[in-house]
Structure 1
């Protein structure tokens, strides 16, 4: 089928390929590759990603789904949701814990053949244990937008620990764009290799202490020494806490929603099935200006728990005045079917790096909205850390 849109001139994107920076995302909006019924807000733009906004209506569905190659999301919604399942978000509404919702987003895309996109929850979304995935029409996978995609975007949203209040314009997930050259169109892997990371670390430290690489930077959990002034090494979500407004920063007391976890003499923590934990890495990290990174499982075979599902790190994360790695990775952890023992220093994930097409003009921590720069063990921005 012939596209309704004219061929896009890409000369202004320059000669480089990789993840697109904020300035190129702005160019995409100017070229109407990114469109929205409501104009983009400056606060949506991050160094290497764009925050996506919820639209005016949410649909409660019985189960998660993908449309498949032959259907649109709305066609599937008509099968999965009744009219009475539609919820207006114009004045705000509560998404109940344990329920699944599909929400059309304000933004939609018309990508050229050389640009693909992928999404993940925002850091604050992950720390609230809101399971969020991006869906597109005619797709068989979550959180991926194919090259040359033209159409709407949807968020699947399922609060797991707390019921949450959202409204039109709330931002739960973010999208990144990757520009490909003609030789990369069918590639699936874009990670910087370990040899390159080793050379970079010699020039400017990626991590404090020893560099451990295994197809990315190995990350270990900190369980033996207090990370917070109160002596806590982690937090566990309470089961029957009040509603959280996702747009209300600094509005909630920690102890009304979380139980503090303190170090045991043996440096262990038993993860209870179904419980949600906030922990932190032993390592302090720094993401160079020409790279971005994502936390991924160290090995799918280590499948007893899920960790860090809001795992994107912008260029500049962890920068410090003395040029040493300055921020820990905060780990969102949930055990699966059986109790699972974590030990201090246990490998819990790996940080995979990818090259930017160019460095962003403003790095993470240099503007508004950098809530987690220099973090240790830290809950989402919604909580007052007593």
Structure 2
């Protein structure tokens, strides 16, 4: 079989010991097309981000790069601008033909909390090859805000795949004709293109910019923080904003997106062709996102944007990224937003769940 594994197949991997856990899996940890990964009990402050490279373990690298070890059990602050490595509670013993890819969870990306998966002998972040047998680690670098973390927190997630189920442009056009993947004309070229909304119909508020000297965010505190303490509102009447180098922004797509139940999607990595900025950190879209069958009516894609070396003018309707659609190996038993704790179904411009909206 070929495709992205649904929740019931992930539960089978847990039962078979393909996924091994240091603690009992939590309710809701398995999502429709992915599984949340949990922080372990300790963290290492490291001198720099790294990849082990062929035939080296992460522990061997830590012997050279670790500055000090931290106990997360009572709660620990990961400071803005520092790099940490955290062993995760989950371990893998993948069979031949099954590989995995990881990505930050939505709330993680919206906090500008760069979180990437690292494996032994790894040569790429967030990629787990066929037949990998070993531990998993999260590299965490808070970019805008210092954060308070504890064991068991879920900052990133993993998706399992067999074969190549990626839809080419012709198949994507057929799916759009059948399902209406966006609420307007579909721009299909190497995936489903989406653009930025800088002319909202009922407001001049187009996004938020992270304040440079904000306080600590406890990731367990949901709806606890005032927006103005951490974010500056961005308003535009002309449909244009200028991105400043080094600044972090939360914007929203002009298109309302739908992910049909038998498909999953991922936001494509940043391409220099669209401008001098990175478009996203959290890239997984689960089956049912924005879909009527899961109680949705299309949902905007939130854009986590960081500008690079030069100021950049962003215009309303400018294409800023693409969604890549894949077939599921089977339909998940539960869809995103359908009886699940789905924080962003039907979303528009929305900050992470820790803020009072």
TM-score, with length taken from structure 1: 0.90
- CA displacement at 1:282 relative to structure 2: 0.4
Cα deviation, residue 368, structure 1: 3.0
Is the aligned partner of 1:110 residue 2:93? yes
Match 2:259 to one of 287, 290, 313: 287
The equivalent position to 2:236 in structure 1, one of 251, 263, 282, is 263
Quick one: distance in 2 between partners of 1:179 and 1:280? 32
Q: Which protein is bigger by CA-based radius of gyration?
A: 1
Does 1:332 pair with 2:277?
A: no
1:252 aligned counterpart, secondary structure: coil
Cα deviation, residue 203, structure 1: 1.7
Counterpart for residue 89 of structure 1? 72
The answer to whether the Cα contact below 8 Å between 1:320 and 1:374 also exists between their aligned partners in 2 is: no
| TM score, norm. by length of structure 2 | 0.97
5 Å-filtered alignment, 1:273-312, equals 273-297=245-269, 299-312=271-284
Whether the aligned pair in 2 keeps the contact of 1:226 and 1:233 (CA below 8 Å) is no
State the partner residue of 1:183: none
Q: How far is 1:379 from its partner?
A: 0.5
Alignment of 1:191-210 (within 5 A): 191-210=166-185
Aligned with residue 217 of structure 2, among 237, 244, 258: 244
1:142 matched to 2:125:
yes
Three-state SS of the structure 1 residue aligned to 2:40 is: coil
Mapped contact 1:53–1:171 kept (Cα < 8 A): yes
Residues 5 and 329 in structure 2, CA contact (< 8 A), matched pair in contact too: yes
Segments ≥4 residues shifted beyond 2 Å:
297-303, 320-325
Query: 1:144-223 to 2 correspondence within 5 Å?
Result: 144-180=127-163, 190-223=165-198
Count of residue pairs brought into register by the alignment? 357
Relative to structure 1, the CA distance from residue 332 to residue 322 in structure 2 (aligned partners, 3 Å threshold; closer, same or farther) is closer
The 3-state SS of whatever aligns with 1:87 is strand
- For 1:321 and 1:174, how far apart are their aligned partners in 2? 24
- Once the 2 structures are TM-superposed, how far is the Cα of residue 226 of structure 1 from its aligned partner? 5.0
Change (3 A) 1:323 1:54: closer
d(CA) in 2 for partners of 1:68, 1:355? 31
Structure 1 spans left out of the alignment, 5+ residues:
1-15, 181-188
For residue 367 of structure 1, report the CA deviation from its aligned partner.
Answer: 2.5
Counterpart in 2 of 1:369?
341
Aligned-partner Cα distance in 1 for 2:61–2:330: 39
Structure 2 portions without partners, runs of 5+: none
Query: Which one of the candidate residues 213, 227, 235 is aligned to 1:254?
Result: 227
User: Considering only aligned residues, what root-mean-square deviation do their CA atoms show, in Å?
Assistant: 1.6
2:334 aligned with 1:349: no
